[in-house]
Amino acid sequence: MFAVRKRKPTLILALVGFAIAVSLFTYLEISDYSAPRPLLRVAIFTFCPASFLSLLFIDIEPHTVGAFGVWFVVALMNSVLYGTIGTLVGRYFCKSD
């Protein structure tokens, strides 16, 4: 029971990190990759820091399998980042019985 309680924040935050990146990719696909407003850009890089990786692949065409692949890797990296934060939260803030 003790180990499950400490892993719960890790799994929840990892899923949140993945969902944030997927939501961002969906938004970019729907908006046809138009330049977001400055405030939205700050929010993107704050909540999905792994999206900086997409800047390295600037020559990837939008709406292609390559773009999906890059953003899938971004989503996985964001999930790992959020999961790491969840592990720290579980370790230091979840009480043991």
pLDDT tens, residue by residue, 37-58: 888 888 889 999 998 887 887 7
More confident call, 62 vs 96? 62
Helix and strand totals (H; E) in the chain: 3, 0
Count: domains in the chain: 1
Report if pTM > 0.95. no
DSSP-H helix ranges across 31-95 = 38-47, 65-93
Local structure of 12: helix, strand or coil: helix
* Domain range enclosing 32: 2-93
